[in-house]
Amino acid sequence: MDLSAYRDPEIARGLIEAIRAADPGRQVKIMEVCGTHTVSIAKNGLRGVMPDWITLLSGPGCPVCVTANHDIDSAIAIAQLPDVTLTTFGDMMKVPGSYSSLSREKGEGRDVRIVYSPLDALALAEKDPSRQVVFVAVGFETTAPLIAAAILRAQEAGITNFSVFCAHKTVPAALGALVNDPEVQVDAFILPGHVSTIIGMEPYRFLAEEYHVPGVIAGFEPVDMLQAIWMIVEQLKDGRAEIEIAYRRGVEPHGNEHAREMVDRVFEPIDADWRGIGVIPQTGLGIREEFSAYDATTRFDLEIPEPKEIKGCQCGDVLRGIVLPFECRLFGKGCTPEHPIGPCMVSSEGSCAAYYRYTDYGKAEAS
């Protein structure tokens, strides 16, 4: 499939002109809530082509970044158990918990492995029944169906040495929490493309209807992002607040119902602790009683130390868009992608890492 048209400078220029022409006559703050959008905006220099009345903010869209210390500490505690092979997506490795990281645990001889898919973790379990293979599941609605599918497959194949530590979160209610936060100022949301591939547009409707905040579901190429921003500013100019889809090739209005059914079968909503935001009711996914054999938190008796926050790190404020990455005292000094202190610098999709890598932060955006 040829995506080059979505990187076409001609189309991008047309959209930039269209955005400029839709000036609503006031300052507007537009927040994206997806790590892949964070990177796309930074990498394609989109902040630099915005008119001065638009501020693009990054919100809590990086699943690794919003994972609370307690959850990272729990994953580390599982890795320290005998006969356990802990598997995870690569982004989680270097994230500091209160006292250690998975990367450090691996260095000290624990069996911690990076996998591309939860199915790879399942294959490891099948191959070596003497090991307890645990998959650390961190992610949003995009990834949740995969975890559900892996658990269902384990059950079907009778694989009993596989379990999941689930720190999954769901996005829409977190956006509601941001809109309700008096410290956060957001006029509109660029909504996450692949989260929406699963959930569709309905779960965001309350943002427009109850709070009069527009949202447009966006793809990830420069033209996709510019199209979404243009649709947002058109709404703001007209005083409308609607949920729209700019990424029609990847998102059906109703999402993927089959994938959602699988998620509902395996998981139930639970309260979740978000770094920087706190506990948001019913935004976590807990493994249902029926599948508790695959729940690492019930399978293992874990002793989790009291969590400790990272001194000086403003990740929590960065995740709410009230502090820009370079406004943190540690940014680029004590905290760099080579020696990250907070999760937003560790994950390649964290706002701090994206700013550090792609922005001339010394001069830019000091508005």
Q: What are the residues binding other proteins (CB under 8 A)?
A: 1, 3, 5-6, 9-11, 13-15, 17-18, 21, 34-36, 62-64, 89, 91, 116-120, 138-140, 142-143, 145-146, 149, 153, 192-195, 197-198, 220, 223, 227, 246, 248-252, 256, 258-259, 262, 347, 349
Kindly state the smallest distance separating residue 130's Cβ from other proteins, in Å.
25
Is 120 or 327 the residue whose CB approaches other proteins more closely?
120
Kindly state the smallest distance separating residue 192's Cβ from other proteins, in Å.
6
Torsion region of 16: left, alpha or beta (phi above 0 gives left; psi -120 to 50 gives alpha): alpha
Beta bridge partners of 285: 269
Kindly state the smallest distance separating residue 96's Cβ from other proteins, in Å.
18
14, exposed or middle or buried, with CB in 10 Å at 0-12, 13-18, 19+? middle
Query: For 75-112, b where at least 16 C-beta lie within 10 A, e where not — what string?
Result: bbbbbeeeebbbbbbebbbbbbbbebbbbbbbeeebbb
Is 144 or 330 the residue whose CB approaches other proteins more closely?
144
Is 20 or 29 the residue whose CB approaches other proteins more closely?
20
DSSP state letter for 167: -
Is 252 or 317 the residue whose CB approaches other proteins more closely?
252
Amino acid at 113: R
Kindly state the smallest distance separating residue 325's Cβ from other proteins, in Å.
18
DSSP state letter for 347: S
Is 86 or 199 the residue whose CB approaches other proteins more closely?
199
Kindly state the smallest distance separating residue 100's Cβ from other proteins, in Å.
22
> CA 260 to CA 127: how far, in whole Å?
30
Is 42 or 330 the residue whose CB approaches other proteins more closely?
42
CB 204, CB 191: distance < 8 Å: yes
Strands 162-166 and 132-137: parallel
Kindly state the smallest distance separating residue 349's Cβ from other proteins, in Å.
6
* Cα Rg, the chain, nearest whole Å: 21
